[in-house]
């Protein structure tokens, strides 16, 4: 792996991920330790550590994709709603020091807890294939 950052390596195609969307600036892939079915990460290809050191143009591209992907997931998965989560710094729960947004599909009656389980790789692959944009 040439990149020290796991998200930069994913964006460069150096390590696999379950991509559901990619454009010139952003990739979106399923979280392998999901909070819910369809939990998706939206990641800028250009490295920055968080919200405060990301240039406005990159942030605008990422948030526009967050909106598109959230609507797509809501429709494809029959979700009743979704959370958008973005952590800054270890104290806020950021485990990868690269800006990213979580889109967490929700269904009525889901408990509002942010605990993740280990994702099943075959199930994630099938889901990514089914919802790819």
Q: Are 8 and 46 in contact (CB under 8 A)?
A: no
Q: How does pLDDT run along the chain (133 residues), one tens digit per residue?
A: 577 999 999 999 999 999 999 999 999 999 999 989 999 999 999 999 999 999 999 999 999 999 999 999 999 999 999 999 999 999 998 999 999 999 999 999 988 776 666 778 888 888 888 888 8
- Cβ-proximal residues to 87 (8 Å cutoff; 6+ apart), any chain: 93, 94, 95
Question: Which are the catalytic amino acids?
Answer: 100
**DSSP label at residue 15:** S
Q: Is 104 helix (H, G, I), strand (E, B) or coil?
A: strand
Cα three-residue angle 13-85-48, rounded to 5 degrees: 45
Domain locations along the chain: 6-131
Q: Are 97 and 89 in contact (CB under 8 A)?
A: no
Alpha carbon distance 26, 35 (integer Å): 22
Q: Which CATH architecture has domain 6-131?
A: 2-Layer Sandwich (3.30)
Name the nearest CA neighbour of 48 among 90, 8, 93, 94. Answer: 8
Q: Are 16 and 36 in contact (CB under 8 A)?
A: no
What's the predicted TM-score (pTM) here? Answer: 0.86
């Amino acid at each position: 792996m040439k990149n020290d950052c796991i998200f930069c390596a994913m964006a460069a195609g150096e390590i696999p991920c379950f991509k559901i969307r990619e454009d010139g600036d952003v990739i979106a892939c399923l979280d392998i330790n999901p909070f819910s079915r369809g939990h998706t990460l939206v990641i800028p290809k250009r490295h920055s550590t968080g919200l405060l050191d990301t240039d406005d143009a990159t942030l605008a591209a990422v948030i526009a994709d967050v909106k598109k992907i959230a609507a797509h997931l809501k429709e494809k998965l029959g979700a009743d709603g979704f959370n958008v989560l973005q952590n800054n710094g270890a104290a806020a729960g950021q485990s990868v020091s690269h800006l990213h947004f979580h889109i967490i599909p929700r269904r009525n009656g889901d408990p509002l807890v942010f605990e993740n389980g280990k994702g099943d790789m075959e199930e994630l692959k099938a889901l990514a294939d089914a919802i790819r944009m």
